[in-house]
Amino acid sequence: MSFSLIPGLLLLGAFTGFCAGLLGVGGGMMMVPFLTLLFTALAFPHEAIVHMAIATSMATILFTSLSSVRAHHKRGMVRWKLVLALAPGILIGGMIGGGKVFAALKTSWLSLLFAVFVGFSAWQMLRNRKPAAHRQLPGTPGMLGAGGVIGFLSSLVGAGGGFVSVPFMTWCNVPIHNAVATSAALGFPIAVASVIGYVWSGLGQTGLPAGSLGYIYLPALAVIAVASVLTAPLGARTAHRMDVAQLKKVFACLLFSLSAYMMWKAWHAF
């Protein structure tokens, strides 16, 4: 990787780390479109570009989630019982999605899947429909299933799970500030499970560029992780100063923009 790319990657890491702390999304949904552009410019194998962008993005969440959740935890906003209830399903779903399912999907379908789910999440958040007052989080089987869905979908699109877990928790009457903080904590088990799958499924692929570990491009990971770890706590502090309506609008508008880009990418890949 050229040294000329380092400033851009540092800026990308700083921005996505801030967003990870602000919105509890792990930064992945912001990072995938930009890494897709970068890997295209570096002339990586066409069929591996989106796979590597997603895998590298998810690997950075191993670092940003720890930095972000530490800041949220200091404010007492993380609901650790929810983290423990969702984590087993997340681990199972993440390893399944990040394994052979991820490798089997073509770039076009992977881009389309990313765009559809991110766009749907944005729409749900922007609708701002108040959940029924009596609705509560499900019991143990329901939380296991919800965790499995969050882990599976997150591993396919390279996100920390916030695009599913935040709407799910707010739908179950968890206040959005708690939902964002708890989603940040869920980013780590999602990343662990998914990264195991990406490495496993990518080791048998031929033609991947030097510096790759499975589908993960290690030079980009190292640079982005350094910057994102530093800015994630700043994003978390900012989130706690914003009111609920502002936070939801920022979340939704950002997701719509990323969905549109990846839809364009899918259109050109078909």
What is the chain's pLDDT, residue by residue, as a tens digit (270 residues)?
Answer: 667 778 888 888 888 778 767 765 555 667 788 888 888 888 898 888 888 988 898 888 888 777 777 777 887 888 999 999 999 998 898 888 777 677 777 777 877 877 887 787 677 667 766 666 677 888 889 999 998 988 887 777 766 666 678 878 888 888 878 888 888 788 888 888 888 888 888 887 888 888 899 899 999 999 988 888 888 778 777 766 766 567 667 767 777 877 787 787 678 766
- Enclosing domain of residue 187: 3-269
Instruction: Provide the pLDDT for residue 145.
Output: 92
Contact between 198 and 214 under an 8 Å Cβ cutoff? The reply is yes
* Rounded Cα gap, residues 91 and 192, in angstroms: 8
Q: Could you tell me how far CA 63 lies from the centroid of its own chain?
A: 12
**Residue the block writes with tokens 């329901």:** 142
Tally of domains within the chain: 1
pLDDT score, position 245: 67
pTM summary value: 0.72
- pLDDT given for residue 173 in this prediction: 86
Q: In DSSP terms, which residues pair with 57 in a beta bridge?
A: none
Looking at residue 267, its pLDDT comes to 81
- Phi, psi angles (nearest 5°) of residue 212: -90, 145
Single-letter residue type at 132: A
What is the 8-class DSSP label of residue 173?
A: T
Amino acid 85: pLDDT? 92
